[in-house]
Structure 1
């Protein structure tokens, strides 16, 4: 097992933080319920960068430093370079109800998960296939499907050499691997690991091509080697997303939510949410032995 140190909870009140990305010496993240995009300054203060009309989710940065972010229910990919956000790609024509997480590669190519409500955490979707997909958006905004027949696509990572993609399929409880061509195309799908009780959500990748995986339903974070073996397991309530950043990318940031905000185990995925759960979301930080690599 890789060595880890004590877990620290940062003193920042949040409800549903998502999409953490380490960029230019700071941690950026979405706040779904507040509809904001935020930056954690090196001093540990929270800076609200954007206030939006729709909930944001996945974040990423273009080669010129401009920010790409997902507008979930409007099903758009927006771009911000300091002025007003502008449309980068309209994905409303792709089948599905909402957009989710995203990874942006070194060339500015974005891979966006498109989700439906036809699958549920109440059902163990063991078999391959599903109603969802991942869309690839080229730097000029052209979009096409990179992978289809997926089940709740969520966090996605790209290895440092650019040749491998690992995708979390949350309600299928598995990590799926694709080879990645120089053109950005995803090829040769296979399963990295099939979990029994872990629901992989947000993920990040380290220099050994191991993937840190957040599982909000089982309130844990696990590290999975490139051979598909679990090497570490951390207990963090409502862990939903993670990123490797800090000095030399050796700090693992884990974003967590009040589990009451998660879709319920109702097959209809329509259970009521608490009207006022309070600021129960959190950001945790811990040092790890193997630094981050690749994207995001």
Structure 2
């Protein structure tokens, strides 16, 4: 149930001049952001100093996370590849996702047991649509790959609870967060609505230590903290679309928000550089996966 009493929090500007920041992750004391439209993966410190860590042969979508061995994983969405950065900085194919779907892949999360979940893909979109129903695939530590969910209404951000027992996915076009139980073998079961968000469109998400989820929302230009069941507790307003969020900082209590002006899918690749990273102090530290604590599993 939406809560009209949710409190608003003012945000601070950390960095600007990005294209579209997506898939933010806290790693090795900095926020890492995929700068969609440029192929860049950028790391930003608390003072707004940025460094291009890697440029990949993709423009969008692409997303990142780290397994326990510390090697960066990159979903190259339109190319249908999950890439792995080697010790010498080069990229190798970790998994070829093309046999599973010709549609673009979107987000990744690695849980505390080394299971990799990637969403997107699925059937081809209908005429006039940009995305069809999405899927979730599981890549196990031994390399086994299988589809574990389907018919996701525009699969977006994903997060796994600290006990590694629940995966939550943002279904943007269904205005909800959906949860699955994670079985011992990493497969997903007992699909259910974790939170009905009313008129909100969840994009990137993260979990805090109180069991709440923060979700970013592009059309409504805000980032919202919600409890299971749908009660909205806190809200950060922005003057542009909020694409994704991540809890980080030294104690995990800083919420970072990737925001940019939205002009439609057809204008996502352009010379416009309206992307920003905003930050606010959060009520509770980060928890679960993606992890805020330097990628520790």
Assess, with a 3 A threshold, how the Cα gap between structure 1 residues 274 and 148 changes in structure 2: closer, same or farther. closer
**Residue matched to 1:109:** 115
256, 278, 284: which one aligns with 2:259:
256
Which has the higher mean CA deviation after the structures are superposed, 248-257 or 134-143? 134-143
Assess, with a 3 A threshold, how the Cα gap between structure 1 residues 84 and 274 changes in structure 2: closer, same or farther. closer
Shift of 1:278: 2.2
Query: 1:71 and 1:86 mapped to 2: Cα distance?
Result: 12
Query: 1:228 and 1:2 mapped to 2: Cα distance?
Result: 12
Query: 2:42 and 2:119 mapped to 1: Cα distance?
Result: 21
Contact conserved, 2:11 with 2:236, CA < 8 A, in 1?
no
**Structure 2: gaps spanning 5 or more residues:** 291-297
257, 271, 287: which one aligns with 2:281:
287
TM-score by length of 1: 0.88
**Structure 1: gaps spanning 5 or more residues:** 124-129, 264-271
Assess, with a 3 A threshold, how the Cα gap between structure 1 residues 276 and 60 changes in structure 2: closer, same or farther. closer
Q: State the SS of the aligned residue for 1:166.
A: strand
Query: 2:267 and 2:114 mapped to 1: Cα distance?
Result: 36
CA displacement 1:101-120 (0-9 Å, x = unmatched): 11111233211112466269
Contact conserved, 1:4 with 1:288, CA < 8 A, in 2?
no
43, 50, 53: which one aligns with 1:49:
53
Q: What are the equivalent positions in structure 2 for 1:237-276 lying under 5 Å apart?
A: 237-260=240-263, 262-263=264-265, 272-273=266-267, 276=270
**Residue matched to 2:157:** 155
Query: 2:183 and 2:135 mapped to 1: Cα distance?
Result: 18
**Residue matched to 2:171:** 169
Query: 1:205 and 1:96 mapped to 2: Cα distance?
Result: 30
Assess, with a 3 A threshold, how the Cα gap between structure 1 residues 225 and 119 changes in structure 2: closer, same or farther. farther
Q: What are the equivalent positions in structure 2 for 1:220-235 lying under 5 Å apart?
A: 220-235=222-237
- 1:75 pairs with 2:103: no
Shift of 1:4: 7.2
Shift of 1:5: 5.2
Shift of 1:281: 0.7
Query: 1:184 and 1:54 mapped to 2: Cα distance?
Result: 29
Give the number of aligned pairs: 281
Query: 2:199 and 2:6 mapped to 1: Cα distance?
Result: 22
Assess, with a 3 A threshold, how the Cα gap between structure 1 residues 93 and 175 changes in structure 2: closer, same or farther. same
186, 189, 193: which one aligns with 2:188:
186
Shift of 1:230: 1.2
Q: State the SS of the aligned residue for 1:54.
A: coil
Assess, with a 3 A threshold, how the Cα gap between structure 1 residues 69 and 95 changes in structure 2: closer, same or farther. same
Contact conserved, 2:12 with 2:278, CA < 8 A, in 1?
yes
CA displacement 1:61-102 (0-9 Å, x = unmatched): 010111111101101101113420111000011134101011
Query: 1:12 and 1:258 mapped to 2: Cα distance?
Result: 12
Q: State the SS of the aligned residue for 2:173.
A: helix
Shift of 1:9: 1.0
Query: 1:178 and 1:96 mapped to 2: Cα distance?
Result: 25
Instruction: Please identify which structure carries the higher strand content.
Output: 2
Q: What are the equivalent positions in structure 2 for 1:135-150 lying under 5 Å apart?
A: 135-150=137-152
Contact conserved, 2:252 with 2:285, CA < 8 A, in 1?
yes
Query: 1:144 and 1:59 mapped to 2: Cα distance?
Result: 20
